[in-house]
Amino acid sequence: MNSPSTQYVTPRRLGIYEPIHQMSTWVENFKSNGNPNTSAPIIVEVDTRLDNQSEDTSHGSQGPFCKYEQEASKPFDKIQRRLAQNREAARKSRLRKKAYVQQLETSRLKLVQLEQELDRARQQGLYVGSGVEGVHMGFSGTVNSAFEMEYGHWLEEQSRQICELRNALQAHIGDVELRILVDAGMSHYFELFRMKTTAAKADVFYVMSGMWKTPAERFFFWIGGFRPSELLKVLVPQLEPLTEQQLIDVCNLRQSCQQAEDALSQGMDKLQQTLAETVAAGQLAEVGYNPRTGTAMDKLEALVSFVSQADHLRQETLQQMSRILTTRQAARGLLALGEYFLRLRALSSLWANRPREPT
C-alpha cells in the first residue's frame, strides 16, 4: 500500500515531479527514525501549504507578479513614447530644412538666370540708351526681389538660431553640443556673404546702397555691411571677463581690421574719384555706348571686388574671434551679435512709427 504522502501529493495537482520525490524521501527517513505517529499530520501540513501554493499559481496569475510586470512595463512605454516623439520632431525638422534648401536653390537658379541675361545685355551695349528706369525694371528689379526674398529667409533662420543659442546658454548644456550651435551660426553668416557676392555681380549699386537693410542698419553701413573693427568694440564688453592673452589677441585683431578697413576705404575713394573723372570727361550730347562708357563699366567691375573683399574681411574677423574665444564665449558672442542687429531693426521700426506732431 502506498504511503499517505504519495497518495495525497500527486504530480497532476502540483504540475511538478521533483518536490514530490524529495518529500517522499524525507517522510520515509522520518519514519525510519521511529516517529510514525507524526508522519501523517506533517505530510498533511506540507501538502496543504503546497496545495495553497498551487492554487495561487493556477488562480492567482493576476497577483503581485503580474502587478510587477505592469510596473516594469511603464518605463518601457514611456521610452517608446519619447522615441516616437523624437522621430516625429526629427521628421518635421527634415521637412523644414528640405523646404528651406529648396527655396534657396530656387532663388539661386533665378539669380544665375538673371546673371546670364545681364551678361547678354552687357555684350549688346544695353546699359545706356534705354535710361535708368529701363535698366532697373529690366534686370535689377527682379534680381533685387529675389535677393530680398532669400534674405528674408535668412533673417527667419537667424531668429531661430538666436533663440536656440539663448536657451542653450541658459540650460548650461555641454561644450560639445554648444560647439555645434556655434558652427551653425558661423556658417549662417558665411551663407549671407555668399548671397551678397552673387547679388553684387547682378546689381552692385543695390548691395552698396544697403536698401535691403533697415534705416538704422544703413546708418552704420560700410561697403555693403558692418565695419568689423566697430563691431568688435560693441561685442568685447559682452564677453568679459577675458584672460590677458585673449585681450591681447582681440586688440591685435582690432588693429588688423582697422588697417584693412583703411586700405579698402582708400581704394574706394580712389575708385570713386577715377570714375567721376571718367564720366565727367564725356560730352553731354553723347548717347549710347562709347569708349569712355566702356572704361567706366570696367571700373564698376572693381566695385564688385571691393564688396567681396569687405565681406571676406568680415568673415575672417568672425573666424579669428571664434579661435580666440572659448566655445561658451563664442556662443555668447554670436548671441550678442544677433541681438545687436535685432535691436537695430527694432530701432528702425520705433523710429518709423514714432508719434509725429501735426504740421
Query: What confidence category does residue 48 fall into, taking pLDDT thresholds of 50, 70 and 90?
Result: very low
Return the closest-CA partner of residue 150 out of 177, 182, 188, 122.
188
Handedness of CA 167, 217, 202, 103 (dihedral sign): positive
Give the Cα separation of 278 and 30 in Å (integer).
127
Query: What confidence category does residue 192 fall into, taking pLDDT thresholds of 50, 70 and 90?
Result: very high
Cell numbers given for 115: 546673371
| Average pLDDT for the chain | 76
pTM of structure: 0.59
**210-235 pLDDT, tens per residue?**
988 999 999 999 999 999 999 898 88
**235-280 pLDDT, tens per residue?**
888 888 899 999 999 999 999 999 999 999 999 999 988 888 877 7
Please report, as a single letter, which amino acid is at residue 143. V
| For the chain, domain boundaries | 140-353
Question: Using an 8 Å Cβ cutoff, are 196 and 311 in contact?
Answer: yes
**61-109 pLDDT, tens per residue?**
455 555 555 655 667 777 888 788 888 888 887 888 777 777 777 777 7
